Amino acid sequence: MRRLSPRGRAAAPVLAAVLAATAGCADVDGLRSDGDLGTVHAPETLWENIHPDPPGPGQEPGKAAVVPGLPKVANLSMRGVNAVDVVRADITAATAEDGGTGRLVDPRAVQRIALCTQAVDGGPYCPVRPAVLRDVTGNGREELITALDVDGRVSELRVYTVRDDGSIARILSRRGVLEGVEVAAEHLAVREPTSNPDKVSVSDYVWDPKAGIMNLSQLTLDECAGTKDSAIPCSTSRV
């Protein structure tokens, strides 16, 4: 039997450890391999040195704003307020404020609101949806919820409240494809399609008394309500 030199004796445990690591775990049947356990990759940040400019004054769609050019509401109630007049004043002011950039309102909205007549409902070609009155701020007063349909797909969702001084303020402005809008327990949920035809995104807005607006509180994915046999994959229910 050949004896190991001192150098060889020192290397033997290291060699044994290497063989054990490469061969896998030992059990009663001998050596076995656990296979490729894969590689963990850290997230890769793309364009980390490029950042958007901060919004300028009046360029924040989520900011509350008193709608100019409207009379004060004497009884602090949205009942009897003409939704078309409110949307027209809001769209006109927002268009002038954003300078046609589209940050606050779709540039086509002015042309669309021009289709509305002076009739109470805006006339047969008016793209403003019928107003819905619901208390979403919890102050006991009903807010006015409506939307301006820019085309057959994109809409401008708006929610307005009456302040203590009688002025009308916009507390939610949201442009999107309104697959559905739901109101329940002072929550307003907006359902929109995603790139997955079987899923819709649900944006849940709640009243933020400090900010004075309806703020996004939760964003989730939900299953579409349509069946496999339906030509329309998702629900098209509206407020």
The mean pLDDT of the chain is 82
The whole-angstrom separation of Cα 111 and Cα 227 is 37
CA distance 107 to 227: 36
DSSP H helix total and E strand total for the chain: 3, 11
pLDDT greater than 80 at residue 144: yes
**What are residue 21's phi and psi, to 5 degrees?**
-70, -40
Average pLDDT over residues 104-116: 94
pLDDT tens digits, 19-52: 444 444 445 555 555 566 667 778 898 998 998 8
* The residue type at 222: D
Of 26-30, 86-90, 177-181, the least confident: 26-30
Helix, strand, coil shares of the chain, percent, nearest 5, are: 15, 30, 55
Between 55-59, 85-89, 129-133, 148-152, the lowest mean confidence (pLDDT) is in 55-59
Could you give the CA distance from residue 118 to residue 151 in angstroms, rounded to a whole number?
21
% of the chain beyond a pLDDT of 90: 60
Token digits for 116? 């509305």
Whole-number pLDDT of residue 127: 96
The average pLDDT across 124-152 equals 95
Q: What confidence tier does 153 reach under pLDDT thresholds 50, 70, 90?
A: very high
pLDDT confidence of residue 53: 83
Backbone angles phi, psi at 206, to 5 degrees: -130, 160
Query: What is the spatial distance between Cα 174 and Cα 168, in angstroms, rounded to a whole number?
Result: 17
Q: In angstroms, rounded to a whole number, what is the distance separating the alpha carbons of residues 234 and 236?
A: 6
Does the pLDDT value for residue 139 go beyond 60?
Answer: yes
